[in-house]
Amino acid sequence: MTEPTMNGSWVRTAVLVAVLLLQTATCQLQYETRYCEQRVDHFSFVNSDTYLQKYLYNDTFWDHDGGPIFIYTGNEGDIEGFAQSSGFVWDIAPEFNALVIFAEHRYYGDSMPYGELSTTNLTYYGFLSAEQALADFASLIYEIKNSTPGAANSPVISFGGSYGGMLTAWFRMKYPHVVDGGIAASAPILQFPGVTPCGAFAEVVTRVFTEVNPECTETVRKSWSIINRLGLTEEGRGTLATTFSLCKPLKSYIHVLALISWLGAIYDNVAEVNYPYPADFIQPLPAWPVRAMCEHMTDSSEDDDTLLQSLALAVNVYSNYTGDTMCNDISDSQESNLTSSEEPWSFQSCAEMVFPMCQTGVDDMFYVSPWDYDTYAESCYEAYGLMPRRFMIEMLFGATKIEDYSNIVFSNGHLDPWSGGGILYNVSDTVLAYIIEDAAHHLDLRGSNPADPQSVIDARNFEKRYIQLWIDEARINNLAKKSS
Amino acid sequence: MTEPTMNGSWVRTAVLVAVLLLQTATCQLQYETRYCEQRVDHFSFVNSDTYLQKYLYNDTFWDHDGGPIFIYTGNEGDIEGFAQSSGFVWDIAPEFNALVIFAEHRYYGDSMPYGELSTTNLTYYGFLSAEQALADFASLIYEIKNSTPGAANSPVISFGGSYGGMLTAWFRMKYPHVVDGGIAASAPILQFPGVTPCGAFAEVVTRVFTEVNPECTETVRKSWSIINRLGLTEEGRGTLATTFSLCKPLKSYIHVLALISWLGAIYDNVAEVNYPYPADFIQPLPAWPVRAMCEHMTDSSEDDDTLLQSLALAVNVYSNYTGDTMCNDISDSQESNLTSSEEPWSFQSCAEMVFPMCQTGVDDMFYVSPWDYDTYAESCYEAYGLMPRRFMIEMLFGATKIEDYSNIVFSNGHLDPWSGGGILYNVSDTVLAYIIEDAAHHLDLRGSNPADPQSVIDARNFEKRYIQLWIDEARINNLAKKSS
């Protein structure tokens, strides 16, 4: 699974985790940690095992007489991390008098259906699917409504970012009798085979860099052939190791490929978390980190050595913003903090969440990296003993044909590489797209910040209006039923 | 599973099969029999087995350039039986230039995931669920659209009666990106615990008899205590056996209970298939068989012996309309022709399709038969080693909270006992109820007949208008996408 040509996409999918997982906790959130007994298999009767799904629960702000329920549909990581990084939900809960629930996704955090065995082989691993996770969320709401006095008629609003946003959209789509509306932030529900071209992600990254300075893009673009050329000789590899302050020498060309992959992932990551204020996820980063990087890459006509030095300075913004990093360990890679959650996401990517990801070097600033389904499928079979269900998500959730669903706001940051697989146009009167001009990956879901651009403030107000509308609709429907 | 107090409900559920399965084939239908490879488990990755789902295919009338697809979502029996008894689909296919598909339900007919092992134990049996069946239907349409030139943009309309109607409703609800609208005929989607009172079915049967003649109901109502009294003595049991022309003597009171159950089931069945023309399903029956029976029960003030004689003549309409029956075998019961499909339906009733069914003897004309969930659950555990998932259907499909779904016509016959668990009021502008005044169980789905009452002709016209509307909407949506 670490085959160089696929690294790009693995890194990217891992970043989906990283972004939400490791954001700075700026305040101490108040919640109870609770557990809900769930069936391991919701849809068949062979396996009647159950497991405990973790969820966080806060009723401080809740109107105990039918106030709404806000549920965050947890994605690939510990739920506490998503609670910390989804400040929007906490910020608005008081004004809506909402019960706040953050529900952990099965096979992440403490919600392991078979404890340590969960990820050992397909017998245990095989119940990790989006459909099962959605049924967990539906069962959890069903359970809470039936066991909490005052909650039986509570409207339910779902929130999620990234894969969590996909789950929120699908949750509303599949269970509109359970959830009244959903804010699906930066949810690339079109990032699937035959729906979105594999190069979309890299093209948005490139655009984000170009919008800062076309020279910045051009510098990156030119760097690959220089690195490749130097990588062919021992002397050149020495130069590369020195220039990029690598911890270990580049012993052969295969290590040069790792360097190339490491660099590519940095541009991807920086674009994704290009927030207007300093933040700390994968690494501590300054405000508008793409801009900060591009300040070092302003002249692509520099000679090769100087261009590489400029690039190294730019990369340093990402790899050593604090100045504490003595050297760069490219084998360790930026996912080092994600070991616990990385593997289940890889499994999901192989099972059903098949995201085609490629780079052409023409439509984007990257090195050439094709996406080949057969190679992908083979590596999945090798790693997990399963062949991807290539078109499963489209069959289950409809991809572009979602006009008959309702009450979803799909928000996407104009600066977010994942927007390439997002819903960017209104699908209907009730399935809406909202583009946030100055936002990277689900900035709108993060807590309010003095540095927030007006566009994200506007987006949050837009979302709040729809949340209120959905709550009102749900209440009107309830009243209509009572009086009939 | 044959415990007397539960017999009523088993008989009733079995009748769901019977009605569609054994109707007279009045014409020779034209279709190809095809098979589609399906995953046994659509929602997990532990089991990657596949099986062949049977479906019937007719493109005689089809406009090969995007004409609509009509799919019948098969229920609990051989799919050929449903094709024969759903003449409406065949009748209207030519005017809509539709491709006709009748898809068999897994674990029925030839669509056995594990051949003869399929129903032997839970390991094989456990993949029999409505959710899995719906995914089969969705996959089948997905497959047909992708492999049939001219079908990619075909609107899809689903049809189903009884449990098949429930599936058609749920199919549209869960897969609106696959199916554009559904005609759910006599679909008791509310016949679940906590949603519909257990006595609803018996009350409608009673009303149907009362509307013919209140004396008819009263005669039935009085009969139980007479039968009970006679059943206590050997002499009395002899009288009963003679009166009802039983093949075997009633050796003990337990046999009297079987007689009572047999009689109750007859009233249920006759009400359900109370069609305006002679038909042959469970038994050959005259037109309006409830009326024919009630012609023998016009005076409930008759003395006990005479009343029982009248009852026996009434029952004879059902058990011996042809005059070929030498004697009545109450142990054999009216389900004798359903052995192949009866058991999987019992499994489904235990797994998730939990229909509470009771009789009070007060609100209905029947003997008292309570419904006790614990007893029910125990018998399920004994029979299949599983406990029912009592609220699963409500959690998955929403029961009464379906206002956010769309494009479904729920038709119910005013004379159909299953209407007690049906959708009888418009839920929204696009989820509609249609009550057919003179119809029993999904008469509207049957082929046109000279004896059809005007109300069923009106119902079919109503359904055709919505089918056309859904097709038009789907085409407009397709055009809008092409031009955007």
Mutate to test the interface with A, among B43, B427, B430, B471 (most CBs of A within 10 A): B43
pTM value is 0.93
Mutate to test the interface with B, among A177, A402, A429 (most CBs of B within 10 A): A177
Comparing CA positions, the residue from B228, B226, B254, B251 lying closest to residue B241 is: B251
User: Looking at residue A39, what is its pLDDT?
Assistant: 98
Query: Consecutive sets of 10 residues in chain A, 484 residues long: mean pLDDT of each?
Result: 32 42 57 98 96 98 98 97 96 98 98 96 96 98 97 98 98 98 98 95 98 98 98 97 96 95 96 93 87 98 97 95 91 45 87 96 97 96 94 95 97 97 97 97 96 98 98 94 80
User: Looking at residue A22, what is its pLDDT?
Assistant: 39
- Please indicate whether residue A483 or residue B175 has the higher confidence score (pLDDT): B175
The answer to whether the Cα torsion of B428, B430, B433, B438 is positive or negative is: positive
For the cut 50, the answer to whether the pLDDT of residue B203 exceeds it is yes
Are A351 and B45 within 8 A, CB to CB?
yes
Tokens of B46: 């532990």
User: Looking at residue B415, what is its pLDDT?
Assistant: 96
CB B128 within 8 A of CB B53: no
User: Looking at residue A27, what is its pLDDT?
Assistant: 61
First to last CA, chain A: 59
Measured distance CA(B420)–CA(B191) in Å, rounded: 8
Pick the residue from chain A with its C-alpha nearest to B176: A404
Distances (CA, A) of A177 to A126, A181, A472, B103, B182: 27, 10, 15, 27, 18
Measured distance CA(B449)–CA(B91) in Å, rounded: 11
Residue A259 phi, psi (nearest 5): -60, -45
Tokens of A163: 């894969």
Are B391 and A142 within 8 A, CB to CB?
yes
List residues of A with catalytic annotation.
Answer: 162, 416, 441
* pLDDT per residue as tens digits for the range B237-258: 999 999 999 999 999 999 999 9
Distances (CA, A) of A84 to A25, A187, A387, A460: 6, 19, 35, 18
Out of B129, B401, B405, the one facing A43 most closely (by C-beta) is B129
Mutate to test the interface with A, among B41, B44, B144 (most CBs of A within 10 A): B44
CB A271 within 8 A of CB A208: yes
Comparing CA positions, the residue from B288, B261, B265 lying closest to residue B413 is: B288
Q: Is A27 helix (H, G, I), strand (E, B) or coil?
A: coil
CB B433 within 8 A of CB B454: no
Instruction: For residue B392, give how far its alpha carbon lies from the nearest alpha carbon of chain A (Å).
Output: 9
Mean pLDDT confidence for B276-291 = 89
Out of A138, A176, A401, the one facing B405 most closely (by C-beta) is A176
| CA of residue A460 relative to chain centroid, distance | 19
Measured distance CA(B362)–CA(B366) in Å, rounded: 8
Q: Please return the burial class of B34, using the count of CB atoms within 10 Å of its CB with bins 0-12, 13-18 and 19+.
A: middle
Are B46 and A425 within 8 A, CB to CB?
no
Pick the residue from chain A with its C-alpha nearest to B143: A395
Instruction: For residue B474, give how far its alpha carbon lies from the nearest alpha carbon of chain A (Å).
Output: 10
Are B391 and A477 within 8 A, CB to CB?
no
Are A391 and B142 within 8 A, CB to CB?
yes
Mean pLDDT confidence for B172-178 = 98
Q: What is the residue-wise DSSP string for A361-382? A: SSSSSSPPB---HHHHHHHHHH
Place of tokens 């769309």: B406
Element (H, E) at B79: helix B79-85
Residues of chain B with Cβ-Cβ distance to A396 below 8 Å are 135, 138
For the cut 70, the answer to whether the pLDDT of residue B109 exceeds it is yes
Measured distance CA(B202)–CA(B209) in Å, rounded: 11
Residues of chain A with Cβ-Cβ distance to B481 below 8 Å are 400
Residues of chain B with Cβ-Cβ distance to A397 below 8 Å are 177
Mutate to test the interface with A, among B36, B40, B46 (most CBs of A within 10 A): B46
Instruction: For residue B10, give how far its alpha carbon lies from the nearest alpha carbon of chain A (Å).
Output: 21
Measured distance CA(B446)–CA(A205) in Å, rounded: 59
Instruction: For residue B427, give how far its alpha carbon lies from the nearest alpha carbon of chain A (Å).
Output: 10
List residues of B with catalytic annotation.
Answer: 162, 416, 441
User: Looking at residue B483, what is its pLDDT?
Assistant: 81
The domain segmentation of chain A, as residue ranges, is 13-192+397-483, 200-384
Tokens of A456: 């994200």
As a residue count, chain B comes to 484
User: Looking at residue A281, what is its pLDDT?
Assistant: 66
Out of A126, A176, A180, the one facing B46 most closely (by C-beta) is A126
Place of tokens 């993060």: A446
CB B311 within 8 A of CB B295: no
For the cut 70, the answer to whether the pLDDT of residue B15 exceeds it is no
Residues of chain A with Cβ-Cβ distance to B180 below 8 Å are 404
**B272 Cβ partners below 8 Å, 6+ apart?**
B15, B19, B416, B417, B418, B440, B441
Instruction: For residue A476, give how far its alpha carbon lies from the nearest alpha carbon of chain B (Å).
Output: 12
Domain A200-384 in the same topology as domain A13-192+397-483: no
Residues of chain A with Cβ-Cβ distance to B396 below 8 Å are 135, 138
Residues of chain B with Cβ-Cβ distance to A399 below 8 Å are 177
Pick the residue from chain A with its C-alpha nearest to B124: A46
Write down the ipTM of this complex.
0.92
User: Looking at residue A331, what is its pLDDT?
Assistant: 77
Instruction: For residue A331, give how far its alpha carbon lies from the nearest alpha carbon of chain B (Å).
Output: 31
Mean pLDDT confidence for B24-32 = 72
Residues of chain A with Cβ-Cβ distance to B178 below 8 Å are 395, 398
Tell me the CATH class for A200-384: mainly alpha
* pLDDT per residue as tens digits for the range B112-150: 999 999 999 999 999 999 999 999 999 999 999 999 999
User: Looking at residue A10, what is its pLDDT?
Assistant: 39
The matching CATH number, chosen from 3.20.20.140, 3.30.750.24, 3.40.50.1820, 3.90.1150.10, for B13-192+397-483 is 3.40.50.1820
The alpha-carbon radius of gyration of chain A (Å, integer) is 23
Measured distance CA(A31)–CA(B120) in Å, rounded: 48
Strand partners, B432: B409
